[in-house]
């Protein structure tokens, strides 16, 4: 019971993010961690913009208006100007935030779930099973994520679904490794031995003792892969094998800018800035969370 | 050492076989009928049947797989069904662009990351250390194509020092070839260096906390002396692993950066083939990329064994 309660508390702390936290020690650690505070602020801003785009954007990002083409930033009604077809850049960036979040968070979530299943299996199963999972992971890690996306684009065609699938395949092996390593640490603890001696079944031990104790690892990894997913999705869409119109992606906007007006001008700058902002925020959030949730690691990495 | 080598080789071969089956299966399962994918939605059934017969797609899948795998081993990557060109010669034309780009990018990344990461590790807790850590954090967040765009904006458009894109063949003017590769290499190297320098910093920090470094310090060596004398070889172990993992990222980065600078490399070829739905050529080229990563990992594993005698025994 106590370990389940611990798990619940951890998730409660996470849910409250930078807000008030019950215990003083953790509270001081949260507020004293610049990376976490900045990361939370940036990520909340990103999510807020994406959420806002669901109900309101300055204009339709797919609506071409030839009369208004290539307006500079600050033009009336177009905060960041327009592209070569007269489409509003600010609106496109807002909708792009939504695409980034959907694709990257979706893939990271699928990756966490599948990676947790295979990682726990690898940690607890018989050596034959565990060894074959880990060798399979080694092989999958040798496959560049971009390769899967290319194959999918050539066969089923590019799109949001293909991109999420490609990213998930790319994420699962590394998640499996991380989860297995974390689970092995927990499985070596005395209370697990006690539970085994008490006659608890493996599945019970994994669900009751291991999962709650590796929860913080999962959260941190989710955040970091969320960030990696945004980068990879942008790269794939930039190549034209990721997200396509009418969906809007930051990588796709950069490609369009380069195709129509070359690299010069603000068209190529805005989407890049947006990507850096989102990825930096999430990475700082992930690093901060790691420091706060796992003080042992803090000594090592800072 | 021999047993160790044999084991690594066995894994390498296993990995090659498994990944080739995976790629083959993915294409056949995800795409359905390859001939109808190639010909598009409007194709007539007779045309699909004819192409299937010509490319041998009407044979059982295992036969097709072995035929393809055997062809790959002999260096036959299949032919483009539109232009009738053999994919092997298409590929070979592109390598003089892609290989120097990828290798130079990797070397540049190592040249930047190892000194910077080591320096950052010795400066932990100081403003300089925090600054280096933050810079690499920002570097990781920069997508490689945007780095390319910014570099070509500054050095190409603003200063006019280097071409913003395009390619001059080695045979025409080697100096111009190098000039057209300069910005792509810098973009690739800088972005990979950001990731690599963080790994270096962590690896060096781990080593600095080890007993043998403390002993060396206690025996009167300076921090730097201890690090160089006993730390470097130990810190190089995790780094070698990371280089292996980065090989996959290197492929992705190279593909993207070639697109940014319109270099006629492997990436352009693959993307063109994807657009043209040349499924079999894509299948073969993708397999070549995976094989490259596996070879790098094999070399890394062997290096690991050379650097660390413990690995030879325990694995």
Average pLDDT, chain A: 77
Q: How confident is the model at residue A197 (pLDDT cuts 50, 70, 90)?
A: confident
Residue-wise pLDDT tens digits, B244-272: 767 778 888 888 888 888 888 887 788 88
- Angstroms from B226 CA to nearest CA on chain A: 19
Q: Do A292 and A30 touch, CB atoms closer than 8 A?
A: yes
Assigned domain for A168 exists: yes
A179: Cβ–Cβ under 8 A, 6 or more apart, which residues?
Answer: A115, A116, A118, A119, A120, A123, A214, A217, A218
3-state secondary structure (DSSP) of residue B85:
coil
pLDDT band at A19 (very low <50, low <70, confident <90, very high): very low
CA distance to B2, B3, B6, B144, B298, per residue, from B9 (Å): 10, 10, 5, 33, 7
User: Would the pLDDT of A55 be above 80?
Assistant: no
> Hey, what are A263's tokens?
């690299």
**Residue at A288 is within a domain:** yes
pLDDT of residue B178: 77
> For residues A151 and B23, is the Cβ–Cβ distance under 8 A?
yes
Whether A300 and B157 lie within 8 Å, measured CB to CB: no
Per-residue pLDDT at B131: 83
B51 versus A94: the higher-pLDDT residue is A94
| pLDDT exceeds 50 at position A117 | yes
Contact A235 B143 (CB under 8 A): yes
Of A135, A143, A235, the CB nearest to B248: A143
A154 lies within 8 A of chain B by CB: yes
Partners of B163 on chain A (C-beta within 8 Å) are none
Please indicate, yes or no, if residue A246 is contained in any of the structural domains.
Answer: yes
Eight-state DSSP code of residue A71: P
Contact: A280, B290; criterion CB under 8 Å: no
- Domains along chain B with CATH numbers: 95-279 (1.10.3720.10)
CB atoms B153 and A263 under 8 Å = yes
The partner residue sitting opposite B15, judged by closest CB among A142, A148, A283, is A142
Q: Report the range out of B200-204, B254-258, B279-283 with the highest average pLDDT.
A: B254-258
User: In 10 A of CB A79, how many CB atoms?
Assistant: 14
H or E element that contains A232: helix A215-239
Q: Which residues of B touch A141 (CB under 8 A)?
A: 245, 248
* Chain A residues 215-234 with CB within 8 Å of chain B: 227, 231-232, 234
State the smallest CA–CA distance between residue A54 and chain B in angstroms. Answer: 26
Does A69 or A19 have the greater pLDDT score?
Answer: A69
User: B195: which residues sit within 8 A by CB, 6+ positions away?
Assistant: B113, B136, B139, B140, B246, B249
The chain-wide mean pLDDT, for chain B, equals: 80
Tokens of B221: 């060596």
Which parts of B21-121 are beta strand (E)? none
Q: Contacts of residue B260 in chain A, CB cutoff 8 Å?
A: 258
DSSP annotation of A69? T
User: Is the Cβ pair B143, A258 closer than 8 Å?
Assistant: no
Share of chain B above pLDDT 70, in %: 93
The Cα–Cα gap between A117 and A56 comes to 39
Q: Do A300 and B152 touch (CB under 8 A)?
A: no
Mean pLDDT of B179-187: 85
Q: Which of B146, B188, B301 to mutate to test the interface with A (most CBs of A within 10 A)?
A: B146
Nearest CA of chain B to the CA of A230: how many Å?
9
Least CB–CB distance from B153: residue in A151, A264, A283: A264
Residues of A in contact with B157 (CB under 8 A): 263-264
Domain-embedded: residue A197 = yes
Smallest Cβ–Cβ distance between A144 and the set B146, B205, B248 belongs to B248
Q: Which chain B positions have a beta carbon within 8 Å of A240's beta carbon?
A: 271, 275
Question: Any CB–CB contact under 8 A between A254 and chain B?
Answer: yes
Q: Is residue A10 part of a domain?
A: no
Q: Find the CB nearest B252 among A235, A300, A302.
A: A235
Closest-CA distance of chain A to residue B81, Å: 14
Calculate ∠ Cα B80-B82-B87, nearest 5°.
15
Q: Is the pLDDT of residue A219 over 70?
A: yes
Overall number of domains in chain A: 1
> Is A19 a member of any domain?
no
Residue A73 clears pLDDT 70, i.e. is over it = no
CA of B70: how far to CAs of B9, B13, B20, B78, B238, in Å?
19, 14, 11, 11, 36
- Contact A265/B at CB under 8 A: no
CATH of the domain at A286: 1.10.3720.10
Domain residues for the domain of A72 are: 36-301
| Complex ipTM value | 0.79
Do B18 and A227 make contact, defined as CB atoms within 8 angstroms?
A: no
- CB distance B137–A284 less than 8 Å? yes
Inter-chain contacts counted by CB atoms under 8 A, chains A and B: 152
Q: Does some domain include residue A25? A: no
CB B170 within 8 A of CB B96: yes
pTM (2 d.p.): 0.81
A185 in any annotated domain = yes
Q: Where are the alpha helices (DSSP H) in A77-159?
A: 89-124, 127-141, 145-155
| Helix (H/G/I), strand (E/B), else coil: A235 | helix
CA A21 to chain centre: 24
């Amino acid at each position: 019971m106590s370990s389940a309660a611990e798990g619940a508390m951890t998730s409660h702390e996470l849910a409250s993010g930078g807000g008030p936290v019950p215990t003083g020690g953790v509270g001081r650690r949260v507020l004293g961690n610049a990376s976490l505070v900045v990361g939370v602020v940036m990520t909340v801003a990103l999510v807020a913009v994406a959420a806002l785009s669901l109900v309101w954007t300055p204009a339709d990002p797919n609506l071409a208006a030839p009369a208004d083409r290539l307006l500079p930033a600050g033009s009336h009604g177009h905060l960041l100007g327009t592209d070569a077809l007269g489409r509003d850049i600010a609106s496109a960036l807002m909708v792009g935030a939504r695409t980034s979040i959907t694709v990257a968070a979706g893939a990271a979530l699928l990756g966490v779930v599948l990676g947790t299943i295979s990682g726990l299996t690898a940690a607890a199963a018989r050596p034959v099973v565990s060894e074959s999972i880990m060798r399979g992971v080694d092989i999958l890690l040798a496959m560049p994520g971009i390769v899967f996306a290319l194959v999918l684009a050539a066969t089923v065609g590019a799109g949001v679904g293909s991109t999420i699938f490609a990213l998930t395949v790319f994420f699962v092996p590394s998640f499996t490794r991380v989860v297995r390593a974390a689970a092995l640490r927990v499985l070596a603890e005395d209370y697990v031995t006690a539970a085994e001696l008490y006659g608890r079944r493996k599945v019970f031990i994994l669900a009751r003792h291991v999962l709650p104790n590796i929860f913080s690892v999962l959260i941190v990894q989710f955040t970091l892969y969320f960030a990696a997913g945004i980068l990879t999705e942008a790269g794939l869409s930039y190549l034209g094998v990721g997200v396509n119109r009418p969906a809007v992606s930051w990588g796709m906007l950069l490609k369009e800018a380069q195709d129509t007006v070359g690299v010069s001008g603000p068209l190529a700058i805005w989407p890049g800035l947006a990507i850096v902002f989102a990825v930096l925020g999430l990475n700082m959030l992930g690093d901060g969370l790691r420091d706060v949730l796992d003080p042992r690691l803090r000594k090592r990495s800072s | 050492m021999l047993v160790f080598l044999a084991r690594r080789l066995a894994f390498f071969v296993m990995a090659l076989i498994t990944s080739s089956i995976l790629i083959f299966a993915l294409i056949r399962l995800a795409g359905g009928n390859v001939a109808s994918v190639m010909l598009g939605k409007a194709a007539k059934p007779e045309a699909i049947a004819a192409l299937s017969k010509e490319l041998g797609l009407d044979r059982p899948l295992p036969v097709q797989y072995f035929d393809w795998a055997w062809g790959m081993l002999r260096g036959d990557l299949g032919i483009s069904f539109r232009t009738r060109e053999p994919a092997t010669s298409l590929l070979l034309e592109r390598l003089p662009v892609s290989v120097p780009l990828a290798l130079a990018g990797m070397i540049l990344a190592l040249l930047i990351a190892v000194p910077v990461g080591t320096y950052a590790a010795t400066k932990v807790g100081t403003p300089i250390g925090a600054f280096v850590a933050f810079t690499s954090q920002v570097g990781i967040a920069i997508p490689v194509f945007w780095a390319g765009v910014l570099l070509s904006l500054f050095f190409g458009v603003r200063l006019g020092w280097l071409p913003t894109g395009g390619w001059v063949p080695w045979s025409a003017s080697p100096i111009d070839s190098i000039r057209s590769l300069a910005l792509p290499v810098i973009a690739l190297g800088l972005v990979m260096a950001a990731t690599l320098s963080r790994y270096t910093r962590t690896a060096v920090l781990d080593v600095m906390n080890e007993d043998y470094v403390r002993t060396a310090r206690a025996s009167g060596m300076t921090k730097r002396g201890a690090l160089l004398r006993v730390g470097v070889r130990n810190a190089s172990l995790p780094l070698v692993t990371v280089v292996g993992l980065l090989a996959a990222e290197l492929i992705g980065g190279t593909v993207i950066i070639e697109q940014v600078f319109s270099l006629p490399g492997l990436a352009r070829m693959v993307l063109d083939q994807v657009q043209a739905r040349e499924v079999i050529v894509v299948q073969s080229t993708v397999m070549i990329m995976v094989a490259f990563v596996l070879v790098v990992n094999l070399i890394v594993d062997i290096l690991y064994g050379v650097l660390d005698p413990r690995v030879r025994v325990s694995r």
